[in-house]
Structure 1
Amino acid sequence: MLGLRLFDVSDGGAVELTARSAELKRHLQGVVEENMELFLRVRFLASEYSTGPVHGGRIDSLGIDENGSPVVVEYKRGRAAGVITQGLFYLAWLTDHRDEFLHLVRDRLGDAVADQVLWSAPRLICVAEDFTRYDVHAVREIRRSIDLVRYSCFGNELLALEPVASVVANGAARSEWRPQKAASSPAVHIDTGGVSPLRAALEEVLLGFGDDVSRVDRKQYRAYRRLRNFACVSHAHQQEVVVTLRISPKDVDLVPGFTRDVSQVGHHGTGDVEVRLRTEQHLRQAEPLLRMSYDAG
């Protein structure tokens, strides 16, 4: 069960609020869909999307995440029985119907978003009251991009979401940052310059925060995420490592040349604070900020 304990301290005392299940799956689904970008960093596309007469099903929610990956979201009011296998069925349908999904994205979000869809790692997000250790083991063996999210309701107004497991299809979550030949991955630029060891050291720090950290490569950046991105490392810089973090500039003592507010500046990846690393000492200085962003993710 959810390890989170929640207390009402509004009257000076402390009253523990008891966790409960959602009254109806549809209610849970509706709340998540209305707030999907805030909760999951996924832009909502459609609810109860029909897979047609041959497949004969309905996808609970369809969306596209902050890295451009197509997303299937499936919900279970109680325990996770069946929700993962059902979601995998719909994920397979999605990868077989790319043109239909792209048409939906163009219709709802426009051509610019549709042109950036990343098909290398379509995602399944399962939201349920609880998962077993067998569920967690299974998603790691399946080797598809799957996130397990545990929910709990407190009273009538509070909803808690807890990432339980996050797996990326390429299985590269623990690999090192090595130079690659252009032919092996033409869409992603990996530097071969002197900052490669620093990138590798940064990756070791980011992946070391927890087993729930995974990564996704885009042409312009590499994203490290839990349920959502918490650090994005640019591929464009050869003399330094530039990473953007999901923390508020108001919470950071900005140092010229080291950190800056990019909330109003165009940049690749997500995050409002940019950190520039040139040495391992800079990396050590940045670790508290990296951790802050991870904790917020």
Structure 2
Amino acid sequence: MSGLRLFRTNMTKGGVAEVAPRLAEVEADVQGLVEAQMETLLGVRFLASEYSTGPVHGGRIDSLGLDENGSPVVVEYKRGVDAGVINQGLFYLSWLVDHRAEFEYLVRDRLGATAASQVLWSGPRLICIAGDFTRYDVHAVREHRRSIDLVRYRLFGSDLLGLETVASVSGGTLASRRALQQVVTRVAAGVQGVSMVELASAVDEALLGLGDGVNRVERKTYRAYQRLRNFACVCPPQRSKLLVYLKVDPKGVDLVPGFTRDVSGLGHHGTGDLEVQLRTPRDVERAQDLFRASYAAA
């Protein structure tokens, strides 16, 4: 992993030993590791491996999945650096968009009818996992209108896997901005008043400003902010508060009544076990450390 050095510490002797990074022996080794734990590693539910695109297209999609927000995901792997991984992935992504019924049938077969009925076609994603990428790869994805994540992997020792997001581009950025403006407009026209408009804008700015590669995904009942995985879900403003759900373990937080709440095991829109209730811009400031913690964990 570029720039990252990993050391094994020996506290009894006070020394350290570097764990040398390495690439997989073959591409299939990386694919097998990721597919076995795809939801944990990428926030994507695994659907199929080596999925055939039929005799006309004559290809096989390395992995197919469905992310936390219901967006279809194509995952392509390369052992090292390969200039063709992005174009290959985009080819398969285009095929997928043209074969929506086939994909939804696969989702229904693997995850059930409810998941199939909630597939979000506004933002299909491509995740490329490789030993490394060039600066030309990073530039190329920023010129596309698709949602693309470039992820660098490294193996350490016999049992450690490292993943690093090199670039992340959301194809739905403009649509998301329009959706945000619609929310703000609705709030301004309702009983919430100007303070709720400011609150919604402040939360959006705070979450997008946490780092590069934050994507915003619009669903009917919430707006998700994601890196590879969701780290925050914001529900539409209520009369006097805004609810944000974070990927933070509530057991590690000093819960404050009226501000933070453990919702693990409770039904709610979006993802995350920690509910944060925001009523004023000051609450947004209070929540900054929680926002950062959830972003770091995604």
Quickly name the TM-score band, shorter chain normalised: over 0.9
Contact 2:27 2:79 in 1 (8 A): yes
1:29 equivalenced with 2:31 (yes/no): yes
The 5 Å alignment of 1:1-297 reads 2-10=2-10, 12=13, 13-172=15-174, 175=177, 178-180=180-182, 191-192=187-188, 193-194=192-193, 195-235=196-236, 237-297=238-298
Give the Cα separation in 2 of the matches to 1:32 and 1:181: 37
Matching residue's letter, 1:168: S
SS of equivalent residue, structure 2 residue 143: helix
Give the direction of change, closer, same or farther, for the CA distance of 1:145–1:58 in structure 2 (3 Å limit).
Answer: same
Matching residue's letter, 1:148: L
Matching residue's letter, 1:138: A
Matching residue's letter, 2:9: V
Contact 1:173 1:214 in 2 (8 A): no
Matching residue's letter, 1:202: V
Matching residue's letter, 1:288: D
Structure 2 unaligned spans of 5+: none
Contact 2:222 2:236 in 1 (8 A): yes
Task: For residue 157 of structure 1, report the CA deviation from its aligned partner.
Answer: 1.1
SS of equivalent residue, structure 2 residue 79: strand
SS of equivalent residue, structure 1 residue 14: strand
Contact 1:249 1:273 in 2 (8 A): yes
Larger deviation, residues 35-44 vs 1-10: 1-10
Larger deviation, residues 70-79 vs 202-211: 202-211
Which structure carries more helix by proportion? Answer: 2
Task: For residue 173 of structure 1, report the CA deviation from its aligned partner.
Answer: 9.0
Matching residue's letter, 2:109: D
Give the Cα separation in 2 of the matches to 1:169 and 1:181: 20
Contact 2:179 2:218 in 1 (8 A): no
Give the Cα separation in 2 of the matches to 1:24 and 1:291: 36
Give the direction of change, closer, same or farther, for the CA distance of 1:190–1:121 in structure 2 (3 Å limit).
Answer: farther
Give the Cα separation in 1 of the matches to 2:238 and 2:135: 41
Give the direction of change, closer, same or farther, for the CA distance of 1:217–1:280 in structure 2 (3 Å limit).
Answer: same
Give the direction of change, closer, same or farther, for the CA distance of 1:174–1:134 in structure 2 (3 Å limit).
Answer: farther
Larger deviation, residues 173-182 vs 70-79: 173-182
Give the Cα separation in 2 of the matches to 1:238 and 1:70: 34
Cα RMSD after superposing both structures: 1.9
Give the Cα separation in 1 of the matches to 2:123 and 2:17: 44
SS of equivalent residue, structure 1 residue 62: strand
Q: Once the two structures are superposed, what CA deviation does each residue of 1:186-208 show, in whole Å capped at 9, x if it has no partner? A: xxx96444312111011111111
Give the Cα separation in 2 of the matches to 1:190 and 1:133: 42
Matching residue's letter, 1:206: L
Task: For residue 245 of structure 1, report the CA deviation from its aligned partner.
Answer: 0.4
Task: For residue 172 of structure 1, report the CA deviation from its aligned partner.
Answer: 3.4
Matching residue's letter, 1:281: R
Give the Cα separation in 2 of the matches to 1:82 and 1:161: 20
* TM-score under structure 1 length normalisation: 0.93
Contact 1:173 1:215 in 2 (8 A): no
Task: For residue 3 of structure 1, report the CA deviation from its aligned partner.
Answer: 2.0
SS of equivalent residue, structure 2 residue 126: strand
Give the direction of change, closer, same or farther, for the CA distance of 1:229–1:264 in structure 2 (3 Å limit).
Answer: same
Q: How many residues align?
A: 291
Matching residue's letter, 2:6: L
Give the direction of change, closer, same or farther, for the CA distance of 1:52–1:35 in structure 2 (3 Å limit).
Answer: same
Give the Cα separation in 2 of the matches to 1:107 and 1:177: 32
Task: For residue 171 of structure 1, report the CA deviation from its aligned partner.
Answer: 2.6
- Name segments (4+ residues, structure 1) moved above 6 Å: none
